[in-house]
Amino acid sequence: MALTRVKTSALSQGSSFLTSVTASDVTSNLPSGSVLNTVTEYHTASTEISTSMTTYVSPSITPTATNSKILVLVTICVDMIGDSNFNARLKRSIGGASDTNLNPNIGNSFYGSGNLGSANQHGLCYSINTIDSPSTTSAVEYKLELSESGRVLLSHSGDTSVTLMEIKG
């Protein structure tokens, strides 16, 4: 197949034809369900989880529209030392306001998850996946809180993370 050279003044050197496209030009033409923005935060150090609810990962995302949804993907990787268990909770704060449970059905998702024997277990990974509708264009911070009973370490054999994806409404 032969190649054809397109000749137009709009594509001449120094023209602003291709550089004048803005982010809103692109996102306004995407269909609903498209991913507009993604943020991931990791906890990579091997750390013993506190016995009281403590925040370990807390990424923020700023939605581009009030009808956007946020897909929240949480991965928790732990090492259980002996007879141990842990609890997990996901909270959010909009525009720096006070924290609220993202969803009462998600609170303390892994209550009692753990090792019921004396042997150690390493590299156990759990997940929380949910869709949130914050109805805002202010920054939204999501906080993964954990507590333990016994001895539970955030694992060095897998990263604990929270990924946030803005989905066009």
**Res 88: pLDDT:** 87
Domains of the chain: 50-167 (2.60.120)
Whether the per-residue pLDDT at 106 is higher than 70: the answer is no
129: DSSP letter: E
**Res 137: pLDDT:** 96
Instruction: Tell me the whole-structure pTM to 2 decimals.
Output: 0.80
Closest CA relative to residue 80, chosen from 127, 116, 109: 116
Whether the per-residue pLDDT at 41 is higher than 90: the answer is yes
Whether the per-residue pLDDT at 162 is higher than 70: the answer is yes
**pLDDT for 112-144, tens place per residue?**
455 566 778 788 888 889 999 999 999 999 999
Tokens of 133: 């509708």
Rounded distance between C-alpha atoms, residue 44 and residue 59, angstroms: 14
Whether the per-residue pLDDT at 29 is higher than 70: the answer is yes
**Res 50: pLDDT:** 92
Q: Where are the alpha helices (DSSP H) in the chain?
A: 23-28
What are the DSSP calls for 76-115, one per residue?
EEEEE-SSEEEEEEEEEEETT---EES-TTTTTTTTTEEE
